[in-house]
Chains A and B, each alone.
Chain A
Amino acid sequence: MTQRVYLDHAATTPLSAEVRQAMQEAFGLFGNASSFHAEGRQAGAAIEQARANVAAAVGAELGEIIFTSGGSEANNTVLQSLREFQGDSLESELIVSAIEHPSVLMAAKRLQKRGTKVHYLPVDRLGQVKLSELKKVLGGKTALVSAMMANNEIGTVQNIAEITRLTHTAGALVHTDAVQALGKIPINVHELGVDYATFSAHKIGGPKGVGALYVRNAAPFTPLIVGGHQEGNRRAGTENTLGIVGFGAAAKQVPRFINQMAKTKVLRDDFFVQISIKIPQIVRNGDPDGLPNILNISFAGAEGESILLALDDDGIAVSTGSACASGDTSPSHVLMAIQADPELAHGSIRFSFGPDNTAEDTERVMQALPGIIEKLRAMSTVHSTPHSTPLDTKRIMKTGREVR
């Protein structure tokens, strides 16, 4: 079987060689890092080395990094402790962007159910949070604003520094989910000024099941998981030594990954040009100046899951924002928030590049993709009903996004 082409790095990444080696070397570190004996101290030392690497990768101090089971836990920790910050006052309000990861949105919904007022910030067609809307809803009651640094589906990068400035002026705290941003664009949490930031290992060549939460020194904090003094009493549970070591090794590669992203961006942009030339009736979703490794395209008249499965059969891994792929009835909330045409949202494909992707990979896609789209369009009903006209270019043009 020929080698697979993996273009789903925003979903997860393979372990990098450096991470694999570091984890293999750590297999013997079985001690409980809380134990005073040599076995425990060895594990503890490995964890602290990893913490130093993660802190260095994001510009934090050692004591500001808490290891978690992943990005979702880190996001939940911040949002679930919101009520605690405010002395359980129902008066406190939460502001989240409409395109957050489900772990932020669902945590917000849960708070909402319990009486917290939640504002969902709309975004523009590129996926940028409307700062004018933020200014409107920010007020004395605002406890926390949570806005992701870079979006996982369309790659749009938010102006977190400005969001933080506005929020701090209003006297509230700021959280950013920086899971997708890490390793793609430089991050310095102190320069951004945020109070909390979420990171994950497995998006940067590290293992699954480990992430980190940055908590600014002096920012209020309440643990989500209690019952142990680990992580400075901020996250109970015996440390995932092996995973944390892997995360540390991955974090060490962050500067190299970021350097490689210049090449990745050229590869991605060339790929988009080739698609534009070979395949008519496409729309690019999101901000072209966002993350360098994400390309989200809607193919009018072809459904995303069908495209995904046909590409998969040709050895190519991508993802889709179509409803079918999730078993849901509505397409991606991110594409709906940027006001993508629902018909087009069902036909969206996300190609997300990693540092090891090459021009050979995109050539492989270009051998398969035009034929797949042509076949699916030919058998589609798009010309069969008056209301289903995604191939009507004028209509697509009205969305105001890039059309080729």
Chain B
Amino acid sequence: MNDWIYSEEVKDHFFHPRNVLFEDESLFKHNARGIAGNVVCGDQMLMLLRIEDNTIKDIRWKTYGCASAIASTSALSEMVKGMTLDQALAIKAEDVAEHLGGLPKKKFHCSVLGSEALKNAIENYQNSLNG
């Protein structure tokens, strides 16, 4: 009777999100911050990174959105933790969807936003170094 429209992986990430930040963002020490989407459209992701030696040492995120948005951000955070910035930037929305055992077609855009927030965070970080 529990026919979940999402994969078990999506369900698992939705109910047990990894690296999620429940507290205020000031309580996670970070040096990179990126955001994508907007609440008016129903999806928004915030990515906070602690970058050391060009590597994502730690990551936290917040998401306003549906189960696939939450699961996508959670999966992405798990995938990029420990990666170099270049490796992290190479992660595509398709990779996130694959990590989740696939997403319903209509929900694919949810996995795009997480990658955009991550990209935005890394760009902000690189700009701050250059600036």
Contact = CB atoms under 8 A, between A and B. Distances in A.
Given A303-B65, A380-B64, A388 B42 contact: no
A146 B41 CA distance: 30
A379 B107 contact: no
Contacts of A323: 41-42
A383 interface: yes
Contacts of A327: 104, 106-107
B106 A379 contact: no
A88 interface: no
A331 interface: yes
Contact of A385 (B44, B63, B107): B44
Contact of A303 (B35, B62, B66): B66
Interface string A150-171: 0000000000000000000000
B12 to A, nearest CB: 12
Interface string B95-131: 0000000001011001000000000000000000000
Interface string A355-381: 000000000000000000001001111
B66 A329 contact: no
Interface in A306-341: 306, 309-310, 313, 322-325, 327, 329, 331
B21 A379 contact: yes
A328 to B, nearest CB: 8
A342 interface: yes
A30 to B, nearest CB: 32
Interface in B1-49: 1, 14-15, 17, 20-25, 35, 38-46
Contact of B40 (A305, A343, A381, A384): A343
Contacts, number: 89
B62 A384 contact: yes
A206 B20 CA distance: 45
Interface in A243-295: none
A329 B41 CA distance: 7
B39 A343 contact: yes
A127 interface: no
Given A306-B70, A313-B15, A378-B22, A388 B41 contact: no
A301 B39 CA distance: 9
A8 to B, nearest CB: 15
A387 interface: yes
Contact of B66 (A306, A381, A383): A306
Contact of A384 (B1, B20, B25): B25
What's the interface size class on B, roughly? 20 to 34
B64 A382 contact: yes
A343 to B, nearest CB: 5
A379 B62 contact: yes
B66 A388 contact: no
What's the interface size class on A, roughly? 20 to 34
Contacts of B110: 324
Most buried by A among B43, B65, B66, B107: B66
A346 interface: yes
Nearest to B14: A309
B75 interface: no
A134 B10 CA distance: 48
Given A327-B106, A343-B40, A390-B39, A384 B66 contact: no
A379 B66 contact: no
Given A324-B42, A343-B40, A346-B42, A388 B107 contact: no
A378 to B, nearest CB: 4
A380 to B, nearest CB: 4
Interface of A: 1, 301, 303-306, 309-310, 313, 322-325, 327, 329, 331, 342-343, 346, 375, 378-385, 387-388, 390
Top 7 A-B pairs, shortest CB-CB distance: A327-B106, A324-B66, A305-B66, A388-B39, A378-B22, A380-B64, A346-B42
28 contacts: A301-B64, A303-B42, A303-B66, A303-B69, A305-B66, A305-B67, A306-B14, A306-B65, A309-B66, A323-B41, A324-B66, A324-B110, A327-B107, A375-B22, A378-B23, A379-B22, A379-B63, A381-B35, A381-B39, A381-B63, A381-B64, A384-B25, A384-B44, A384-B62, A385-B35, A385-B39, A387-B39, A388-B64
Given A1-B1, A342-B40, 7 more contacts: A306-B66, A323-B41, A324-B107, A380-B62, A381-B39, A381-B64, A384-B44
